[in-house]
Amino acid sequence: MIDKEEVAAVLELIRPSLQADGGDVRLVDVDEDGVVSVELQGACKGCPMSQMTLANGVERILKDRVPGVTSVVPVA
């Protein structure tokens, strides 16, 4: 089981980079399969680069730092 608090702590490390560009991310859920659901906020919401931000930024860092994370998906 993935520790939701650990995921939240890693998101806190990522958050300043997103906020520097006018965006943000909110943790919605972590399921038993290692899928982390997040809500992109601010400038990140609806940005054409948001998928790249999730895959190459948020997902990569979470997979590196939190054992068991398999993917990061956005929620509407």
Domains of the chain in start order, with CATH, are 4-74 (3.30.300.130)
Kindly report the pTM of this predicted structure: 0.91
Distances in Å between the Cα of 2 and the Cα atoms of 20, 22, 36 are 28, 29, 10
Count of Cβ atoms closer than 10 Å to residue 58 Cβ: 24
Residue 35: per-residue pLDDT: 97
User: What digits encode the pLDDT tens for the residues 23-76?
Assistant: 999 999 999 999 999 999 998 888 888 888 888 889 999 999 999 999 999 997
Q: Where are the beta strands (DSSP E) in the chain?
A: 23-30, 35-42, 71-74
